A and B are shown apart, each in its own frame.
Chain A
Amino acid sequence: MGAVLSLTPSYYEALKRLTLELAGVNLGADHTFLIETRLSSLARTEGFDSLTNMVEELFNTGESRLAVQVVSSLLERDTHFNTDMPSLNKLEDVIIPQLHPIHKNGTIRILSFGCSSGQEPYCIAMALDKAKEKYADLKFEIVGVDYPSIALDRAKSGRYTHFDVQRGLPIRDLVTYFERDNEDWVVKSKIRNMITFEETHLLSNLDKLGDFHVVMFRNALPHYSSPAQVRVLRGLATLVKPLGYLLLGSNETLNHINFGFDPLALQKGVFRKRQEKVEPVIEDPSIKKPNGRKTFERAKRNLKDVDKFTQSKTG
């Protein structure tokens, strides 16, 4: 017997479209289960009697704070420590050694873009702590950004469950860099202090973040719609300093959309920004530039269209 779903099909479609419009992310075919599980918990936290009440409130009032909370909950990724190690190792084995001689006695800024519950920036900080003698003449600033969400709150607290710390984290790292607090494990302050977490709409203007020697955006690109991929990669290009690095997942490329990066030979997923400013290369003719439309209004119109369609089918 299938699980009982509490929302009408039109609301599922409207929420899926809202996520696509606001964040450029396609939830995929199994979105009903995702919406039920993620949003039921948010509805309780927000003080609603039911998921239906929260979603009705969202679409009746169009309250932007609630819209952001809903979309952020739907975007939370199930992230683990040391995900995609071959790619993570490129930071330590390829990128930092190349930046080191150029920035001796300086500061290297690293951005974890879409950091979710923070495992990636904490892994970077632990790796750099292990290599601190090698890079004694360097300072590191690590910034983790994502939508405001429960996941980002967890990242800021550095608090992880018994299950979280056993997925991908070597036991020696756990005893070295975490403290036990009842059933949870909390990242020690010397590692937490290496990282700043900031709430950011990933498709917004990112200038306030400053620029970085390394931007990490691993294994998230395929979840974005084609126009959103253009937008997010254009945003990231403005964040990377000339001759800085963009680190994608091991199997990700910039073949179709490239805002001035060159792939590093024999290093999958590592791209270096060119010195000179160049026009973007967008090879897919189906991809149009985002036009800044009022996305929430459009999602509401979509909801009405779906309701009309549902009524015509059932009535």
Chain B
Amino acid sequence: MTSCLVVDDSRMIRRVASRILKDLKFDTSEAENGQDAIDQCRVDMPDAILLDWSMPVMDGLSFLKELRKEPDGKTPVVVFCTAERDVLKITKALDAGADEYIMKPFDSDIIESKFQQAGLI
């Protein structure tokens, strides 16, 4: 089963996204900010990461830059999932190593489509 770490400071968003991903047969875990996520990745690197941008302690972009420096940190497919819709911000995320990008609000069709685009389904 493909593993996916859902990183978002909103408990509700984590729950909704995890439910959708479980329906898509992913084994999910959750983190509430970038620091929490990087700690979890150091213990057990997931196959995929669904990543919010604006979070306390460590934001999504800083997490992604840190992640890509880790041993095996290039392995996970990272899909940003954020309210940021500015083209410059999207480009910044892609340049930092994001594989796909979801603009909130999202639904199950969008998550499925984007995970397909990223080669996870």
- Within 8 Å by CB of A167, from B91, B101, B113, lies B113
B52-66 interface with A by 8 A CB criterion? none
Complex interface: chain A residues within 8 A of B100 (CB)? 170-171
On chain A, the number of residues with a Cβ less than 8 Å from chain B's Cβ atoms is 13
CB distance from A183 to the nearest CB of B (A): 9
Complex interface: chain A residues within 8 A of B117 (CB)? 168, 170-171
Complex interface: chain B residues within 8 A of A174 (CB)? 90
User: Which one of A166, A167, A168, A174 has the highest number of Cβ atoms from chain B below 10 Å of its Cβ?
Assistant: A166
- Which 7 residue pairs spanning A and B have beta carbons closest together? A171-B101, A166-B110, A167-B113, A170-B117, A175-B87, A175-B90, A171-B100
Complex interface: chain B residues within 8 A of A180 (CB)? 85-87
Interface positions of A (Cβ within 8 A of B): 80, 162-163, 166-168, 170-172, 174-175, 179-180
- Which B residue sits closest to A81, measured CB to CB? B113
| Residue B20, interface by CB 8 Å | no
Q: A172 CA to B90 CA in the complex, in Å?
A: 9
CB distance from A153 to the nearest CB of B (A): 24
- Which A residue sits closest to B99, measured CB to CB? A171
- Which B residue sits closest to A80, measured CB to CB? B113
- Within 8 Å by CB of B107, from A80, A163, A168, A179, lies A163
Complex interface: chain B residues within 8 A of A172 (CB)? 94
Q: A168 CA to B121 CA in the complex, in Å?
A: 13
Complex interface: chain A residues within 8 A of B114 (CB)? 166, 171
A-B contact pairs, 21 of them (CB 8 A): A80-B113, A162-B85, A163-B107, A163-B110, A166-B106, A166-B113, A166-B114, A167-B109, A167-B110, A167-B113, A168-B113, A170-B100, A170-B117, A171-B94, A171-B100, A171-B101, A171-B117, A172-B94, A175-B94, A180-B85, A180-B87
| Residue B102, interface by CB 8 Å | yes
| Residue B16, interface by CB 8 Å | no
CB distance from B61 to the nearest CB of A (A): 15
| Residue B103, interface by CB 8 Å | yes
- Within 8 Å by CB of B103, from A80, A166, A168, lies A166
Q: A180 CA to B86 CA in the complex, in Å?
A: 8
Q: A276 CA to B36 CA in the complex, in Å?
A: 69
Complex interface: chain B residues within 8 A of A80 (CB)? 113
Q: A166 CA to B101 CA in the complex, in Å?
A: 9
B77-106 interface with A by 8 A CB criterion? 85-87, 90-91, 94, 98, 100-103, 106
Complex interface: chain B residues within 8 A of A163 (CB)? 107, 110
- Within 8 Å by CB of B91, from A170, A175, A179, lies A175
Q: A71 CA to B15 CA in the complex, in Å?
A: 42
Q: A162 CA to B101 CA in the complex, in Å?
A: 12
Q: A166 CA to B107 CA in the complex, in Å?
A: 10
Complex interface: chain B residues within 8 A of A167 (CB)? 109-110, 113
Q: Given contacts A167-B110, A170-B117, A180-B85, is CB(A162)–CB(B103) below 8 Å?
A: yes
Q: A175 CA to B100 CA in the complex, in Å?
A: 12
Complex interface: chain B residues within 8 A of A166 (CB)? 102-103, 106, 110, 113-114
CB distance from A88 to the nearest CB of B (A): 14
Q: A171 CA to B81 CA in the complex, in Å?
A: 12
Q: A62 CA to B67 CA in the complex, in Å?
A: 66
Complex interface: chain A residues within 8 A of B106 (CB)? 166
CB distance from A277 to the nearest CB of B (A): 43
- Which B residue sits closest to A185, measured CB to CB? B85
Q: A80 CA to B113 CA in the complex, in Å?
A: 10
CB distance from A100 to the nearest CB of B (A): 28
